[in-house]
Chain A
């Protein structure tokens, strides 16, 4: 029998506690948080660790040119861009902001207003190198990342809200792909024909999701309106005169968009909502589903959906779902008062707080170069902003016959970005929560009541100082 004294037990416990404390010190002090206390350039992206790993080639190629700038890709998972931005803000609050962040149109003005550093000086300084980029990118995309006369991001990819057609359901209805100038009446007759020929199974002619991109907004844009007033900032001439002089598409471009007031009670807004109400009432389209439309790919590929708004990003997803390019096709959104198209874009923003802004600029510059963009987008899971990259090599094998529609949307139609002021999260919440009620309303007066609620909520949301 061995006697173990209390002192010995306490000693062992104490040593154990010290050992445990030592082992968990990095966790307790937060020094194991990626990016903290290291010398790497931290680049935050929306995605999984696999998405970060897929950028290894990009990082390698960058480091071959800039071996003195180590890069760490921080993959931040989120259900949508709002979720991603919330997590970036949490990093800011925790004192560990990344140096560079991929920001989509939804957050462009929030970042420009509060978090991002303007790129004007860098772009001007590297004007020669940047000319190649600007000459290849539509000015509408650049304008969408300007805010109050300054440029805050260089767009790398975009997606316009185009209309995807399942060709099987279209031919079953005895129809062909509509022309590029088709109208809302054509859309309704197509949807009705699809519904009639579906045989009553689980089928919907038009599937849409209740969100800023591809939700109600394209229907407002084609009626030359929006739920927010759309104005433009003065300024930006330093960029347009230097890089887009002589480009007719750059004529009248500004220092960025301003969405400062609700426009929910405008008559054209009511008209567009009434079209959607008709679609829902006749059972031609779904009551809008909340969220990111994750269920969509399988249903579209399986022939349960006739039409849905999507962009170039969908080509890879459909291919992975086993749908060949010849089984579906794509066309512009139909025409109402106009055929103005909605798009969303994304690009790298350099954080104001970054102590490595020069290094960050080298990263941004590399990522928008031809080499960088080829490495970033090896598959058609988005539409690259460089016109020269939207080619047969990228979309030909897997994409639909009319894949050129993706970039032609910018080249041939008037277009505008997702309306996303600095108060985007509150604005999006206000929009989403009132859209369902408006489009499922039993009467026009009930719909108007929902639009009044939308107006009230938007006015409230826009009062928030972002």
Chain B
């Protein structure tokens, strides 16, 4: 057996003990600082400095090749006037609303089902099955889906053809493409919320349900009056994470539809990518990024504000 630290002797005088305690605190602070340096350094290098750089860049015109040129608010005025940017933000909001509602509903419903009806071993299997899509690359999943839902040669239309349904333009029509991007995104991402809900549901004491059953509460009443309130802190966490992630949706629409047809599936992050890396308008891209960041912060703040009314913590 090994010991790492030496504790002060109880017989030492009080002042010596205070000195030792102060020394220990100082030493612990130093140690904490040493352990924090890599994280803080990493965050500074890869998060804070780029954020500040991006903030500054939003007021410049820069194409990588030439020197940056200060343009004031011109980038912001341009993006407000640009129909594609406006549409991309509207699309992003549409994706956020639909994907978050679907993702949380599906995850909570399945988690409740798995938690209440299934034996432990089967629960483990479902936990893995539902989580599995999340560990796949979004690009690979999207490529696979684009094959499955190809209008002419996809498996889905081939199967539908067998029951007399004509080929559906899943990815070639505006509404079809929006639905596909939403479904593919939800299918791939609901597993994380599912795991969170499983944890939340497991922490609800069984006795509460037993007492409710004795009082004659049915399944739905139990769910709405016991499960939902008690799992509401988890819903808050899951929804905050889901909203922030879906505001940054990129891979699925980029691979499935390239933002089309027209601008129907173009999202804010796609416009950032196109502006920066295809059109060499890094200032404009930063301005769009800044607007998106402010939007994310606003939405998160509103969520936490609302949580005071709707989240049950005890």
What residues make up the interface of A, taking CB atoms closer than 8 Å to B? Answer: 1-6, 9-10, 82, 85-86, 89-90, 92-93, 114-115, 202, 204, 207, 210, 286-291, 295, 299, 304, 423, 425-426, 429, 432-434, 436-437, 440, 453, 457, 460-461, 464-466
Contact = CB atoms under 8 A, between A and B. Distances in A.
Interface stretch (B195-203, B252-260, B289-297): B252-260
Given A6-B4, A202-B153, A287-B172, A433 B262 contact: yes
Interface in B24-43: 27, 31
A290 B258 contact: yes
B263 A433 contact: yes
Interface stretch (B92-100, B210-218, B275-283, B303-311): B275-283
Given A202-B158, A464-B279, A92 B65 contact: yes
A287 B151 contact: yes
A207 B65 contact: no
7 contacts: A92-B64, A92-B65, A114-B63, A287-B173, A295-B153, A426-B278, A436-B172
Interface of B: 1-6, 27, 31, 63-65, 82, 84, 147, 150-153, 157-158, 161, 169, 171-173, 257-263, 266, 274, 277-281
Nearest to A290: B258
Given A85-B278, A287-B172, A429-B279, 20 more contacts: A1-B2, A6-B4, A6-B27, A202-B152, A202-B161, A286-B172, A287-B151, A290-B258, A291-B258, A295-B150, A425-B278, A426-B274, A426-B278, A432-B260, A433-B266, A434-B262, A440-B172, A440-B261, A466-B63, A466-B280
Given A3-B3, A425-B278, A207 B261 contact: no
B240 to A, nearest CB: 32
A114 B281 CA distance: 14
B169 A287 contact: yes
Contacts of A93: 64
A301 to B, nearest CB: 12
Contacts of B2: 1-4
B260 A89 contact: no
Nearest to B84: A457
A202 B167 CA distance: 10
A433 B65 CA distance: 28
Q: Which 7 A-B pairs have the closest CB atoms?
A: A425-B278, A436-B261, A86-B277, A287-B172, A93-B64, A290-B258, A426-B279
A81 to B, nearest CB: 11
Contact of B151 (A10, A92, A286): A286
Contacts of A299: 152-153
Contacts of A9: 4
Contacts of B63: 114, 465-466
A28 B218 CA distance: 60
Nearest to B277: A86
B279 A204 contact: no
A162 to B, nearest CB: 22
A234 B239 CA distance: 61
Contact of B260 (A6, A286, A436): A436
Contacts of A425: 274, 278-280
A51 B278 CA distance: 24
Contacts of A433: 259-263, 266
B277 A89 contact: yes
A434 B65 CA distance: 30
Given A433-B261, A433-B262, A4 B172 contact: no
Given A86-B277, A89-B277, A289 B150 contact: yes
A115 B152 contact: no
A69 B219 CA distance: 78
Given A1-B1, A6-B4, A425-B274, A89 B259 contact: no
B210 to A, nearest CB: 50
A55 to B, nearest CB: 26
A464 B258 contact: no
A290 B257 CA distance: 7
A82 B278 contact: yes
A427 B84 CA distance: 14
Nearest to A450: B262
Contacts of A290: 171, 257-258, 260
Contacts of A1: 1-3
A436 B278 contact: no
Nearest to B64: A93
A453 B83 CA distance: 11
Contacts of A436: 172, 260-262
Nearest to A283: B167
B4 A429 contact: no
Contacts of B257: 290
A150 to B, nearest CB: 18
Nearest to A424: B278
Contacts of A461: 279
A286 B279 contact: no
A202 B278 CA distance: 36
A434 B82 CA distance: 16
A291 B260 CA distance: 11
A294 to B, nearest CB: 9
A86 B274 CA distance: 10
B253 to A, nearest CB: 11
Contacts of B1: 1
A4 B277 CA distance: 54
A114 B65 contact: yes
A30 B305 CA distance: 44
Contacts of B65: 89, 92, 114-115
Contacts of A5: 6
A432 B259 CA distance: 10
Contacts of B5: 6
A274 to B, nearest CB: 18
B278 A86 contact: yes
A288 B6 CA distance: 74
Given A6-B5, A299-B153, A423 B258 contact: no
Nearest to A4: B2
Given A202-B158, A287-B151, A295-B150, A89 B280 contact: yes
A10 B35 CA distance: 11
